Structure 1
Amino acid sequence: MSLIWATRGRTWGFRFLRDGGFGDPLQVYDDAFSDVGDEPEVWWRVAEKGALRFPDPLGRKDRAGRIIPHEFVVLGPLANEVDSVECARQLVWPQVADVFSRIWEMPEPPPPGEGL
């Protein structure tokens, strides 16, 4: 599954943890989220990709007490299979849950693609 994944950890700010194979995923991310708004839960299809946002399923918070959000750009065939936030969460979260459990308390996350 090809994903761009952006989130923050307990002490580190918003970062790309998966880059979807793009050298610079920011443009693809911006395109996907440009019309989404700031709702805490979102599934929004844009052409062949989808923008997905949801709060951390375990309720983890950063050091300022804010719930950790997870934002994904879902690319490829999977985007065509999703029709709701809940459907997307069930397909995407299991792909990254263990990774996030290992890194969210690290002082800095590893660069995108390095074991993520």
Structure 2
Amino acid sequence: MKLIWATRGRMWGFRFLHDGGFPDPLVEYDKAFSGVEGEPEVCRQVGEIVALRFPDPSGRHDRAGRIIQHDFVVFPPMAIGVGSVGDGIRDVWPLVADKYEEVWNLPKAPTA
């Protein structure tokens, strides 16, 4: 699975939890999300990849009360089946949900 995943935890700020195998996932992330930085939900194809953002499916918030967002850069072949936020929640979220459950409430962010 080739995937970039960035999010926040309850106590820690925005971090990459999956780097997609890139030494600097921020470059690919910026390309995918350019122009939609403030949007609460995103599903858009950029070339062969999909930029996907949605609020935490369990409704979790950080310590400041903000809804936690999950940002993904989805690469082929998985990207082919992701055409909406609903598709992403159904197909992408289950791949990381258990890991997030383990780390979201940690005092410090885990590494990618």
User: If the length of structure 2 is used for normalisation, what is the TM-score?
Assistant: 0.96
Instruction: Work out whether residues 7 and 14 of structure 1, in 8 Å CA contact, stay in contact via their aligned partners in 2.
Output: yes
Aligned AA (1:5)? W
Matched residue, 1:6:
6
**Equivalent-residue separation in structure 1 for 2:24 and 2:104 (angstroms):** 22
Aligned residues: percent identity? 61
Corresponding residue SS for 2:92? helix
Structure 2 segments unaligned to the other structure (5+ residues): none
Matched residue, 1:35:
35
CA deviation string 1:30-70 (max 9, x = no partner): 00000224221110100011100000011100000001000
User: If the length of structure 1 is used for normalisation, what is the TM-score?
Assistant: 0.92
Aligned AA (1:82)? V
CA deviation string 1:45-100 (max 9, x = no partner): 00011100000011100000001000000012111222111012111000000000
Aligned AA (1:43)? C
| Runs of 4+ deviating beyond 6 Å | none
- C-alpha root-mean-square deviation of aligned residues, in Å? 0.9
**Equivalent-residue separation in structure 2 for 1:5 and 1:37 (angstroms):** 15
Instruction: Work out whether residues 52 and 88 of structure 1, in 8 Å CA contact, stay in contact via their aligned partners in 2.
Output: yes
* Equivalent residues, number: 112
**Equivalent-residue separation in structure 2 for 1:92 and 1:103 (angstroms):** 18
**Equivalent-residue separation in structure 2 for 1:109 and 1:75 (angstroms):** 24
Matched residue, 2:64:
64
